[in-house]
Structure formats: C-alpha cells, structure tokens
Structure 1
C-alpha cells in the first residue's frame, strides 16, 4: 500500500464520498479513514455500522484504501462530557463545534499524520485560502450549506493541513457527481442532529444523563400556565413540546420559551414569537478563538452570527482585557442563547468566535451586567 498524501475522512455520507471522488480524479495519492466517535450504548439507534459499511463500499468503488480508528473515548471526554455538563447548567451547547475541534481536526489529523499523510480532507462545505501570509477560512459558495460556523475554532496549523474539496460546489452538483460515479451514497439522506442521539427521542436520551424534575411553566409576570418535564429539554425561542393548549385567560396563540430558570426549576414562556423578553442588542461571550491567532483590532465592525441557521448581522465588537467579547448588534437579536457560539465574519472570511455567556434580554439574569 503506497503512502497517501491526503487522508479523507470517509463518514459514509455523500459529501465525504464526493470529496474523495474529486481528489482521486485529480490524481492525489489518497486513502480514507472512518472514525467511530460513539460507542454502542445498547439502544441500536446510532447509524455507525450502516455508515461504516457505506464508507467501505465507497472506498472500494473508488479504489482507495481505507483505515479505521475508534475515537469514542476521546469523543466522550472531549465532547460528550461537556455536552452533558452544559445541559445540566441550563445552557444549550453545540457539540458539532467541539467535535470538529477535538476530534476531526485533532485526533483525526494526528492519525492521518501517523499513517504518512501530510494533509486531511473532509466533506465540509467551506473554503480555505492563503492571503497576506496567513490561512483564511471562507464561507462555501453554496451559502445554504455553508459550515464555516461549525469550523470557527480551527487555527493556522489545521487550515494549512486541510482540504475542503466541496467548497466551490452546490449540494445539487455533489449528488449529481455521486450518481455519475455510481456511489451508493448518492441518494443517502443527509445526517441531522447528533449521532449519539440518532433517531431517538431527545428527552428520553438526555434523561439518562441529566435527571429531570418537573416544574412550573410561568409567564414573565409570574402567572402559572402549565408544567414542564424538565427545563433542560428546552431552549430559548422554542415553540414545540410545551403542550400548552388553550390556557384560560390567554389568547389562543402559540407559546415560546423566553427563559430557563434552573435555580428554581421554572420555565418562562410568552405568546409572541418576537417577544420583548427574547430580544437583545448586546451579547457577552467567553474568551474568543481567532483563526488568525489574534483579533483584527481591539474594537472593530463585523458580521456576527449567534446560531447556525441565522443570517449574520452587523455588530460592533469589543475585545475585553480577558479575551472575552462584548458584541453590540445594530438590530435587536432574537433568542441569543448561552452555550451556543457567536461567530464573526468580515465579508466571506470567518474570523473566529466564542461561546455566548449572556445577553441583555430582559429575562437574562446577567442582563444588567456590563
């Protein structure tokens, strides 16, 4: 077996399959690697075995060797433990960001180097270039599939050793190329959610790790309108799962979560989607990570994104003495959520980001702080 120049992370999905196809057709010495990131918990709901078979089939079809590595212990320690701790604290974590930083661009990269490869490639929708003596992470051409939000914790060394072959392609063309090459993943549904939850009910899964307590659902002015199965199961702005049908004395309108009070086990709701209790202009974060190694300036203007499926919004960014950020948006933002990532952009370039700590929404307990 010849030494590969590039190791492709073959996940068993169509995106990584076509990433490998493009590199093979370009004549790049190539091998694949399938990562097992979640140990079987006995439920049979994670699709790891099906994905493994598909990855093997794709490698065979393309004529490239494939390797296997079990990173389930590293995933538990570096991603899942944090996921549980955050939910227990009433926050809403984003495990995809940690998985990229801790597994795909750390342990996978190390494994690729150990196997003789100088670079790795994945099926992420993003682009990398080099300008002004540094590597830059850019949005994908297919803005609807762009995944730079999840990659904002990468640094110069990782970008220098990474290829994103799909960065210039629309998803429709990716599937067309898979069909033309006879890859069995061509029609495979995109994976959604988190592998360790899979197709299971989220509440049932989380209750195995974070014991839930029933409690009251109240309005912002303190009126009790129902009961919840556990504040951990909800996130700010959520409408589904509240099971609040016609509440006496209130309009027949949907309810939305506007606060999670873990300290007294109360879920706070309101009936307006853009309730004032959900709206904020200023957000404070933990210490930020900068892809270039440093922020562009102590204070600067940028576009800021507080959720993956959200349009980046104009904001003023202040880098504080401890490395944390104070981000003031031009327009009010809905449901800025502690535990999620605030990611910064200048045009199509991703600068980096940080975990959201609090905002100035009226229900946020830290709203009065500066």
Structure 2
C-alpha cells in the first residue's frame, strides 16, 4: 500500500483531501506545518519591537488535529520557520523595498510546501507521495513522458497559477485530490462527514502569515520613507506619501490627497527619488502596455520551440490573455499581448497556459508600450 503524507492546514480543503485519499486506498498520515513565529522573527530582527500580531496557527493545528482524529489518521507537526524566513519572506521584503509587488504564495509553494515539506515527508515519514488541498491536477503524458500541471475543474478556485514554479520531480511525487471537484462539493462533503473544518472560512492574506492591515504589517519591516506624490502629467506635487512600496499600480484609494475633486490613480514609482506618480487622465495612456519582459521563468515541460503562442495570466483570477512568447534564455522571455493589457506590474507573476495545461511562469521585470519601456514603472 502506497503511503501519502497530507499537508493538513486546518482548513476544509486539506481535510477533504485527506478523506479522499483514504477512500482511494492509500495509507495516509497528516503533517501540519508551522512557518511563521512572531517571537522568533523578532529575534531574527535583533529583538526590535514590532507591531505584529500572532497568527492563530494554534487554532489551525487544533482544527487539523480534530480532523485527523475524526478520520483516524496520525498527525505530526513540523516547523519550517527559518526556511520560510530565508527562502520566502526575506525575498518578499527585498522586492517591496525595490518598489516591486511580489507573490509570496508562489515562492512558498516552490520552496516550503513542495521542497522542504516534500523532503521531510519522504525522508522522515517515509511517504511515497505528498498531497495538498490545492484545486489543480497532475497528469502524466505518456507520449511526451512528462508530468503536466493542469487547472482545477473549478475555474473560480483553480490554483495552478500559484504552482507555476514546480518541477517535474515535484509533480511526480504530488497528488491533488481536489482537482476534479468544485469548492461547493468539497464543503458539502465536509459537512456530511461532520468535519470540524466544514464551515471554516477560507484563509486569505499572505501565505502562512494571514489577514492583517497590510500597510501596518509592512511598516514593521520597511520603515516609513516620506516622499512626494507627483502628478505625472503636470509634475506638480499634490501630496505626501509614507513610502512608495506601500502602493500598487492602478491603486485609487488611500492616496490621502486632501479631498481633491479629481479621481487620481497610481501609475508608477521612482524608488531612487522616492516619488509616487499619479494621474487623473485616461487609463489607456498610463496603465496599459503591449508587452513585458519576464525573468526567473520556470518551464514545467520541455518547450518544442523558442517562439509560440499561448495564453497568460498576469494576476490571479485574471482572465486568460492571448500572448506570443519569445524565449530569450532558459530563464527569461519576452511576452507580447494580442491586445493592450492593464496594470502589468513588476514583481508580480506571469503564468502561461496551453488550454488546460500550465506551462510554467516567471516574474514580470519590465513593461513596454509599443516596444518602449515604461520609464515610470
């Protein structure tokens, strides 16, 4: 009998994943990850006092324990706090300091859930596979002799976007029991089983850190840096910001412009000069681009050509956008859009698809309008 180690988070999705694996005939054990510890992170910061709140991981663990006991599966705990700090959070903060907008969930999947967790599950707990509660699918293509990452059938919950950095080796050892189900079906199954997590709210916010006032959270790690808010068209200083890293491209709220009648939105940042650029004219002029450079690309499958067409998402839940891809190097590509795309943001992830198959993804470096670099990004 094959043994599967399930990443049991204390949420409804991983709870049902564990049950489905038992029903499929696997020997199943649960492993609860603890990846964030406010007190330890204070020590890493040199014992400085920070305005942080403790993530309710103990509540999650108790929920996970209740599910494992209900289903008769052994549960273990493991800490990846230092690994999360070293491989995910330091990069997250470094990107924000550069005025970019990173996606920590993608790095968390790449390094924590499907690397350190995978190794621990296979080596320490002698599993044959790991499983997670993601809405995605894995398929082995006999003709190509490769594993493929597929979207989950529930298009409103598909999480393949966050798995774009996975490798063949990782996919070969991973099961996604929820890939063919909808969220509604998962909830109904949990309620029917009487699981403690059946009606639990879905987790949101930063991976393993949770929901909180994001600006205040960032202020703990990146001190305020007051600078000018400048109208990009008139070069007039309209106000003051507390740090360009706290703002995102296209943002309209929280600009603190003193009740000005015009509706302004963020169009760019100059980190070196600490300037936040805003505009109140046409979005077409400032927020749209026609291509972008993507670095740190990971291709899950062997590419057959250096030039191809596919679709892409530049944000989670965004509709698929037709694009053409030109491979520049093993880790970079130029992506051209069939039509102008709004708010292509450096630091965010571009993820590529061929129908249901996720080809991989990378990090947006630079946006262009008609082959001209958008200088204000």
**Alignment match of 1:336 (pick from 322, 327, 344):** 344
Equivalent position SS for 2:38: coil
1:327 equivalent in alignment to 2:335:
yes
User: What's the counterpart of residue 210 of structure 1?
Assistant: 222
Shift of 1:295: 2.5
**Alignment match of 2:304 (pick from 283, 296, 302):** 296
User: What's the counterpart of residue 233 of structure 1?
Assistant: 246
User: Pairwise mapping of residues 52-201 of structure 1 onto structure 2 (< 5 A)?
Assistant: 52-114=61-123, 115-131=125-141, 132=143, 133-195=145-207, 197-201=209-213
> C-alpha offsets along residues 199-234 of structure 1, whole Å, 9 cap, x if unaligned?
332122111211221111111121222211111101
CA RMSD of aligned residues (A): 1.8
1:224 equivalent in alignment to 2:237:
yes
Shift of 1:240: 2.4
Distance 1:103 1:53 in 2: 21
Shift of 1:237: 1.3
> C-alpha offsets along residues 8-38 of structure 1, whole Å, 9 cap, x if unaligned?
0000001100100111122211000000011
Shift of 1:243: 2.6
TM-score normalized with structure 2 length: 0.91
Gapped regions of structure 2 (runs ≥ 5): 43-51
User: What's the counterpart of residue 254 of structure 1?
Assistant: 263
Distance 1:10 1:271 in 2: 47
Shift of 1:285: 1.3
Distance 1:344 1:22 in 2: 30
Change (3 A) 1:363 1:298: closer
1:312 equivalent in alignment to 2:320:
yes
> C-alpha offsets along residues 262-289 of structure 1, whole Å, 9 cap, x if unaligned?
1111111122573421110110011421
After the TM superposition, which parts of structure 1 deviate over 6 Å for at least 4 consecutive aligned residues?
Answer: none
Gapped regions of structure 1 (runs ≥ 5): none
Aligned residues: 360
Shift of 1:366: 8.2
Shift of 1:160: 0.8
TM-score normalized with structure 1 length: 0.93
Shift of 1:196: 5.7
Shift of 1:253: 4.4
Task: Verify the 8 A CA contact 1:136 1:350 in the aligned structure 2.
Answer: yes
Task: Verify the 8 A CA contact 1:139 1:146 in the aligned structure 2.
Answer: yes
